[in-house]
Amino acid sequence: MARVSCALPAFEVAPSALRACRPHDVASEFMSRLDPSLASSGCNIEVYRLQKLREEDQLYEGDELLCRFPTWHFDLTSLEELFQEVEDLKSIQAEFQQNYENALSCIALCGEFVGSISETDDAVDTMRNCLLERDKQLAAEKRKHKKLRGDLLAIREQTLHLQQLVLDDAAGLDRLSSASNSHRGALPLNSPGPGHLGSQGAHRPIGGPRSEPRWEEANLAINA
């Protein structure tokens, strides 16, 4: 059977170097361009002299055949760039995977945060209701204190009025006492007092008129 391989352009040997170039030199240059580590690994490379076949040429068992696209400008350099692009894409894909996992973690944290925000909103509403109730209580306390203050002022006014009445009564009693004392001091020492009869009273005829001009004057002075 015949084996068919795919050929990619690797490099070209200058016409001036063809005389000194040997198959070993071509194999070494090929390995350095394909992968420099192949030279140290002892990889064996076969070098063939190719001849383009014609349409009528006969194929035989054991032939090594090589196919290539003459108009396809794809060489080992392009292959290397393609491999490098694949490696870069793998790195980008790994980065995207890490970002995706981080995004999932962030979404989970956001869910917990949203839940905590809901709980916080409930707590804020509860606190707001408590503050409203406290404001109502303070307003009621202020009204109560205002009413109590008004009551205390009214009691104070009533107390001052009562004190004034007591002082006025006391002043009236003092005036009466002073008038009584002054009247008693104006009476003669030998005049008969209340309940006592004088000399004229002792000789007053029975059934006769009772004349007490001095007591009438005293009563008028007291009443004044």
pLDDT, mean of residues 180-196: 57
Between 215 and 93, the more confident residue is: 93
Residue 181 is predicted with a pLDDT of 73
pLDDT over threshold 70, residue 161? yes
Handedness of CA 75, 77, 78, 80 (dihedral sign): positive
What is the rounded CA–CA span in Å between residue 210 and residue 213?
10
Residue 91 is predicted with a pLDDT of 93
Residue 187 is predicted with a pLDDT of 54
Residue 94 is predicted with a pLDDT of 93
Answer whether 31's CB lies under 8 Å from 20's CB: no
pLDDT over threshold 90, residue 93? yes
Residue 207 is predicted with a pLDDT of 46
Contacts of residue 109, defined as CB under 8 A and 6 or more positions apart, other chains included, come to none
pLDDT over threshold 60, residue 132? yes
Q: What angle do CA 193, 198, 202 make, to 5 degrees?
A: 140
Q: What angle do CA 177, 180, 184 make, to 5 degrees?
A: 140
Average pLDDT, rounded, for the chain:
75
